Structure 1
Amino acid sequence: MVKSKSIYSCVECGGRVLKWQGQCPHCHLWNTLVEAVAEKNSTRFNYTNEISRVQNIEKIKIGEEPRYSTGIAELDRVLGGGLVDGGVILLGGDPGIGKSTLLLQALCYSSCDRAVLYVSGEESASQIALRAKRLSLATKKVHLLTEIQLDRIQEVLGKEKPNVAVIDSIQTIYSESLQSAPGSVAQVRECAAQLTRIAKASGICIILVGHVTKEGTLAGPRVLEHMVDTVLYFEGDAQSSFRLIRAIKNRFGAVNELGVFAMTEKGLREVSNPSALFLSHHEEKVPGSCVMVTQEGTRPLLVEVQALVDKSQALNPRRLSVGLENNRLAMLLAVLHRHVGIACFDQDVFVNAVGGVRITEPGADLAVLLAIVSSLKNKPLPIKIITFGEIGLAGEVRPVQRGQERLKEAAKLGFVQAIIPKANKPKHSVFGIEIILVDRLEDAVTAIF
């Protein structure tokens, strides 16, 4: 028996080398090479339509991509308005987060006016039918295929010609033209490329379900994310019933859009007012609490930032933040000391974003520092006050994007005061909310305390 020849493929760039190395010679990243079986050279791609010709861009006829709803408004928001014919969507998330449940619900809702197909490589037909029954879904027009062989899936797609097809999951599909096992770098790349080719040639919208690694990134080669049109991440805490779906890449809409769901006995339910999830309801004013307005894509969200400052019992005081960047916390404490004269060098500082939300924008800086000062002085902020703004190293309060929309969201939820950067002064007054404009950090601290 002839021994199979091994090669080493990079999971980031897809580059190949004959011998293992610590660093990929193509993308220069470390520890990204994994062993795979060397495949024989063969032509696996056939022409499905006429040969392309050179065209002048100005003469190409263009039009708005028609979209159709999934039946789930929060999912439509993240997708940029709905599904697009010929689009390829990659949905990743932790095991048990609810990826299959969400897509099964979407297919059942879409089946009213669209032909849909659910391809499962992980569960049996009876398991999926049992889940649909438990969720009380209308599955009369939903077609199901339990298959992991790529050629068979291609044959069914060509025969059934659905408008929407879900492949659950891409890591379980394999092609017989390759010798490597399902889930390997070569198999994932080959199957994704073939399915993407079918979607573009036939106009079928294909949704691929992807596994994630223990680091939280999508399993398989990084080229998988480059192939598809949209990359969605399904996030959530195992201890919480709330789920967040976030768009990381979208060729048909805005990125960083956020959809919020609640996991119930009847499946995933949309949350119409997500700001309520990230706000605590205190019976009285408490020190160390500050409400900010963050921006997730085109959606403004109100999030409560909590801080606890306590005298340190160790030589090195602790700096811990949950939901915010830890390195930025250390920088903000230095700015607070240098420009306001409030020192925390002998204090433990803990900062938390309520509800498990992750805030990555610098617009949370002002809220974090006001919460820290409130906890340190043991003086609560006024009720119904919000803030946002980025803090520079010189102590200035810098503007953030979409300030007018943030203020409107705060006023809609009953807030009556706002401390914002001077450069974010609204062109038109926002009804029901008093604006306090600040230019420097010390101005904001003085205005409150």
Structure 2
Amino acid sequence: MKSTRLLATLLLVAVCAGFSSCEEELEEEPSTIPSPEGGNDSSDLENTYSQYIDDYEKITCKSFIQYNNDTIAFTGITSKGYLMIDLFQKSSETKVFEWIDNTKTDTIYKIHQGYGEYKEVKVHSIELPFIQFHTESSKDFIAMLHFNGSQTLRRALFVNGGQSRMTDCLSTVSTFILNWYNNEYCFIHDCCYTFAGDTVYTVKYGEYDYNIDQYGSRIATNGYGSFQYQFERVSAEEAVGIGIDTDNFNGSYQLRLARINYKTAQNIWGKEQYVELPFEYEAKAKLSSSIIQKSSEIWTYNIDIVYYDGTEKEASINVNIKNGSIIEEEIPVTLANLEGTWDIVKCYGWEYNDNYEKEDWEEDVTGEYIFFEDEDGNGGYNDGYKTYYFASSVKGDRLILRSTEWLLGKEVTITKLTDTELYLKAVDSESEENYEMKRR
């Protein structure tokens, strides 16, 4: 029990040192990133080992590393060829964790150099720059090992349920995310693993993909531009990304959204979504975003802006993460709320043919729009060539048109009205027409 409590105290947070992007990619960072202390040269190595490890003379590929100020990790190969890891509390010289593998570890590797050529690397020491236990009381863990020889080889070690597994040698580790999704998966360099070390899938980085976030951003933008997204995963394979895009030239802000699949390298929605943010532009303003609700398919993002004088404003955006549609709050159907110009973006419906069979149709509505000139309901419909003026009033969700040829004889219903969208449905006994419009 004493060792368990000490281990929980010393290693409650992830320890990281010695490889490049750990502090950027860990989802739970230590408050400081300690550097390895103590040497692994000659007498210092032997003296330190002799203080803590029994029969240290029989250990080969010895190495130690100090982190968390009071924790020392010892690694090496036993006389029987098995990797060993011992963790000690330095202040009390108390061993808090001990592990010996049940599979022998190779110390000679042939590394492909390209063009069919290989180089033999003999390992002279094995370092443990990182170890993370699954839970506070668990003996299962994930570790990063550095096999040092004429070049450094990196291998991830998974220990789960008493079974161990190592990855193949990695020339570099650009990404190391322990909790990739739901405390069941991790992501190391270009591969998603289970906590047991099973490969779930690998990704193929592009020339300028230096880590998994840049890879994801390239997928989100369909390969165009260098915009960087921040991702929230919805499964081991998929994530929703957001980012705030500042248009300094036009003086505006946009929220950009996309859903990607890491495994298939696809933009799930097929495109990025852009939402104009309702903030006045200021060059020195600071913007930030956060997710305030994601318990269903409708996620709510909160966008904050702080101006140079300290003024703060915020806006909320609702997104259907299944299809990428932006969910706006509907507003009351009144002539005042209808006032303005609405560009028709889609028109479709059905009608009976000569055989009295329903036929679906959709029309090209490029350049068509309707407008309401005032709160009295006076306005018109323009088909791109001619304007058909009307007078109108509203009754509940019905739009009553008068003195016009447009939609003559049809019952018109407003099926959706927000600050930016207007949907109409016009029906009679023989047909139905649907109009989807955006406020100009």
Shorter-chain TM band: under 0.3
Q: Could you say which structure has the higher strand fraction?
A: 2
Highest CA radius of gyration, 1 or 2?
Answer: 2
Instruction: Looking at secondary structure, tell me which structure has more helix per residue.
Output: 1
TM-score if structure 2 supplies the norm length? 0.27
Higher relative contact order (CA 8 A, sep 6+): 1
